[in-house]
């Protein structure tokens, strides 16, 4: 169920443990939009590297980001709105995703940065089961993270409240950008 005539892509960004997948699931059930878990497009070598406790490099991330951007472009070309989860830690990474909208002037792209304290993030990562990203890589992600600049017009949402409240705040931000 698409809610608007204009396709809208929402990128839920943030470091591992920020709740991207949880919030995305809540949004998809409310909006009926397509969902891409960005982690699903990581090549096996990236997953193995992270699982072994090694941070990804820009070179590791490039084909992954390009695959996400292709998916976003295909969704927009088909007239569908979608939610994408992707860490999008650096501006250059976000720029790759932004480029997917070239040629789609009617499409809307909204980045929502889910952000929280290192302590909250570490607690969430430690409690999480069955994920290839070990808690020990949190510091490397926080070091890599380039805070969104004002000219990027990225909505930041604090992850401290319960997930339902974070999802509601995210939904309000999405609707204000439609």
Domains and CATH numbers, the chain: 8-176 (3.40.50.300)
Q: Which residue has the higher pLDDT, 153 or 136?
A: 153
With a threshold of 0.75, does the pTM exceed it?
Answer: yes
pLDDT of residue 134: 58
Rg (the chain; Cα; Å): 15
Mean pLDDT of 119-129: 74
- Residue 54's pLDDT band (boundaries 50, 70, 90)? confident
- Which residues, including other chains, have CB under 8 Å from residue 53's CB and lie 6 or more apart? 134, 136, 137
The residue with greater pLDDT, 130 or 161, is 161
Q: How far apart, in whole angstroms, are the C-alpha atoms of residue 12 and residue 43? A: 20
Task: Dig out the tokens for 156 from the structure.
Answer: 């930041």
Mean pLDDT value of segment 53-75: 93
As a whole number of angstroms, the distance between CA 159 and CA 140 comes to: 20
């Amino acid at each position: 169920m698409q809610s608007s005539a204009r396709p809208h892509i929402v990128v839920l960004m943030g470091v591992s443990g920020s709740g991207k997948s949880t919030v995305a699931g809540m949004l998809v059930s409310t909006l009926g939009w397509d969902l891409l878990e960005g982690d699903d497009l990581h090549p096996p070598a990236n997953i193995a590297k992270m699982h072994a406790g090694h941070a990804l490099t820009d070179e590791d991330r490039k084909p992954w980001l390009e695959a996400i951007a292709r998916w976003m472009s295909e969704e927009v070309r088909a007239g569908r709105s979608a939610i994408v989860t992707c860490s999008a830690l650096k501006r250059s990474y976000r720029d790759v995703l932004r480029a997917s909208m070239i040629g789609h002037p009617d499409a809307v792209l909204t980045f929502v940065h889910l952000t929280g304290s290192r302590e909250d993030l570490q607690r969430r990562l430690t409690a999480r089961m069955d994920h290839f990203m070990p808690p020990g890589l949190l510091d490397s992600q926080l070091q890599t993270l380039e805070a969104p600049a004002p000219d990027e017009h990225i909505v930041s949402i604090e992850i401290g409240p319960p997930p339902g409240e974070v999802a509601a705040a995210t939904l309000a931000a999405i609707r204000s950008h439609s």
